[in-house]
Amino acid sequence: MPRPTSDVQAFEAHATDADLDDLRARLTAARLPEAETVHRAAPGPGSGPGRWDQGVPLADLVEVVNYWRTGYDWRSFEARLHGIGQFRTTIDDLGIHFLHRRSTRADATPLLLTHGWPGSVAEFVDVVDELAEPQDADAPAFHVVVPSLPGFGYSDKPATTGWGTERIAAAWVRLMGRLGYVKFLAHGGDWGGNITTVLGGRFPEHVLGIHTTFAEAPPGLTTVGLTATERQWTEDTRHFWRHRAAYAKQQATRPQTIGYSLVDSPVGLLAWILDKFAEWSDTEDSPFERISMDRVLDDVTLYWMTRTGASAARIYYESHNSLDPELRVDVPSAITMYPRDIEKCPRPWAGQRYRRIVRWASPETGGHFPSLEVPDYFVKDLREGLAAVLAAHG
């Protein structure tokens, strides 16, 4: 396996003590609004509004803020990133940060994992080691690469427009080549799934196949012939974009405006992101039913320390509704639709874009953040999907 080129430099994340002190001071001095005016706890069907119907409940936010201020350990997360291996390289004049965990297995296959919003590389820190060095000797092993999207985490913030998903996908091909991985597998969800789709469609000479929890069908397809469950999926997705996607419209049209709050107020940033962990996870009330508070704060604190609330939001400005309707993916594809994800695409529709679906999975549990919600199943599903992809690729 080729060694990294001289264009790749080792990197170590390390916030200053002054930045950590400033965060605690801002949390201590936070001005909070009054409580929401809905108070019912986790209602059943038809029993009225739920606690989260107006957003993050005050009591829940206060609990997380207090723990963030007094109990959360950012240094522990920095050490975990360092233990995996962090690097930076420059592509198209933009510094790109990434995690890189090489497997010791001679039969390992390069695997690119791409996060979305409001995620980050923090989504994958719990699964990288098991993917690279599986405890089961019969399980496939991977050389794992996890880049931070432009404007996210320790990647640079673009100073001009133009860093949409097509350009990011092209940059990822260059990144993998720079690491010696001319051919590789790709996985992603959310924006990472969009970028993974572009990778499979635009770069079949480099991409062996893809695994995605995101599938966007071409426009204009009919519901005729869909099952009742599949029709419900389409209705749920339509309802989401009409009634629950104000955050996306804000970030697609006025990312700079919301960015001031996200970069200046840690409580504002926490509420903006925690709302999505709550609404998009497979839980009945709190996201902490499945995801630890530490994992959520790893992600939120990464946004805070890198001051990327505005720059990360701009991916919506660059790429919202921009997936080429004519793009087709002919490399082998494995697709998983988690039941509580915000968008679920029927298989007949997905097949109009992803034309070699070699494995389709519809698990019974899990939402938008499966690597955090159901990490053991996520690893199992990813392995099985990529095994099917590799078998189809030959």
What is the mean pLDDT of the segment spanning 169-194? 98
Q: Which long-range contacts (CB under 8 A, 24 or more apart) does 20-25 make?
A: 20/74, 23/68, 23/266, 23/301, 23/304, 23/305, 24/69
For residue 388, which amino acid is it?
A
pLDDT of residue 50: 82
pLDDT of residue 43: 46
Write down the domain spans for the chain.
9-24+63-393
Full strand arrangement of the beta sheet holding 357-361? 9-10, 86-91, 94-101, 142-147, 109-114, 184-188, 207-212, 333-336, 357-361
Region for residue 31 given its phi and psi (left: phi exceeds 0; alpha: psi -120 to 50; beta: otherwise): beta
The whole-angstrom separation of Cα 268 and Cα 309 is: 10
pLDDT of residue 6: 64
The whole-angstrom separation of Cα 111 and Cα 284 is: 33
pLDDT of residue 41: 56
Taking all residues of the chain, what is their mean pLDDT, rounded to a whole number?
Answer: 95
- Predicted confidence (pLDDT) per residue in 57-71, tens digit: 999 999 999 999 999
- Predicted confidence (pLDDT) per residue in 270-295, tens digit: 999 999 999 999 999 999 999 999 99
pLDDT of residue 128: 98
Mapping DSSP onto H, E and C, the string for 231-283 reads HHHHHHHHHHHHHCCHHHHHHHHCHHHHHHHHHHCHHHHHHHHHHHHHHHCCC
Enter the DSSP assignment of 318.
Answer: H
Residue 378 has pLDDT above 90, yes or no: yes
Cα angle for residues 157, 322, 179 (degrees, 5° grid): 50
Residue 46 has pLDDT above 50, yes or no: no
The whole-angstrom separation of Cα 172 and Cα 312 is: 17
Residue 177 has pLDDT above 80, yes or no: yes
CB 171 within 8 A of CB 95: no
Q: Which two tokens stand for residue 11?
A: 């990197």
CB 367 within 8 A of CB 338: yes
Range 9-24+63-393 has CATH code 3.40.50.2300 = no
Residue 44 has pLDDT above 60, yes or no: no
What is the mean pLDDT of the segment spanning 178-185? 98
Give 393's pLDDT tier (boundaries 50, 70, 90). confident
The whole-angstrom separation of Cα 131 and Cα 254 is: 38
pLDDT of residue 369: 98
Count the neighbouring beta carbons within 10 Å of the beta carbon of residue 324: 14
The whole-angstrom separation of Cα 330 and Cα 290 is: 35
DSSP string, 139-172: S--EEEEEEPPTTSTTSPPPSSS---HHHHHHHH
What is the mean pLDDT of the segment spanning 97-115? 98
